[in-house]
Amino acid sequence: MFEGGIIHPDAEDYSWFADFEEGGYYRLRFALDRWLKSGKWGLGIEGGYLLAGDGSGFRGGPVLTIPYGQIGYRLSSGSELANSSGPWASLRYSAFSGVEVYAYGSMTTYEWEAFDIESEDLMALHTGASYEPEFFAQNIQLFAEFQIYQSPEFNQDRRALGGITYKFDSERKGK
């Protein structure tokens, strides 16, 4: 997969987003996977490159695809991104028709120059479940998710999300 984007935000003076720096930036993303054993196991590499104003940044690393998700390691560096590295995992499991449980976790070590901290760990955990009732022809998906973030500034950042997703194009498979 290769993707390129030219992003140029334009915010009105009265917008909440007016404080963000105006101007465009370029983003390139890529992923290369090699399936090993009948589409259940794979190895790959993924990443992205950001070019904005006078700066740039790169984020990427290796990925192992397993039958129930992916496990990887990510490195980030550049003038537009904090120097960071750490492992991550994304897992999914469907025990019943229409029901899926999922979890995501990452532990990243950042160099926080902006906060005058040499390095610190950022932990992110997400867990949730989704349900697609068969009587709606898979046009509706209900979901609930719980998130935990821990950083040098926030030790107790907890979030609960819930929602309903309606798919207008029911012929498309995927999310």
pLDDT per residue of the chain (175 residues) written in tens, 0 to 9: 899 988 776 666 666 555 555 567 788 999 998 888 777 899 999 999 988 777 788 889 999 999 999 999 999 887 756 678 899 999 999 988 889 999 999 998 877 665 566 667 888 999 999 998 877 666 888 999 999 988 777 777 899 999 998 877 655 555 4
Q: Give domain status of residue 89, yes or no.
A: yes
pLDDT of residue 156: 77
Which amino acid, 118?
A: E
Per DSSP bridges, beta strands 69-78 and 140-150 are: unpaired
CB 75 within 8 A of CB 101: no
Q: Give domain status of residue 108, yes or no.
A: yes
pLDDT of residue 175: 47
- What distance in Å separates the CA atoms of residue 95 and residue 53, rounded to the nearest whole number? 48
Which amino acid, 85?
A: S
Q: Give domain status of residue 20, yes or no.
A: no
CA distances from 48 to 12, 30, 171 (A): 29, 6, 31
pLDDT of residue 71: 96
Q: Give domain status of residue 131, yes or no.
A: yes
CB 125 within 8 A of CB 147: yes
Other C-beta atoms closer than 10 Å to the C-beta of 6 total 8
Total domains, the chain? 1
Domain with 117 in it: 82-166
CB 165 within 8 A of CB 140: yes
Q: Give domain status of residue 36, yes or no.
A: no
Q: Give domain status of residue 1, yes or no.
A: no
Q: Give domain status of residue 141, yes or no.
A: yes
Q: Give domain status of residue 38, yes or no.
A: no
pLDDT of residue 100: 93
Mean pLDDT value across the chain: 81
Beta bridge partners of 66: 69
CB 170 within 8 A of CB 137: yes
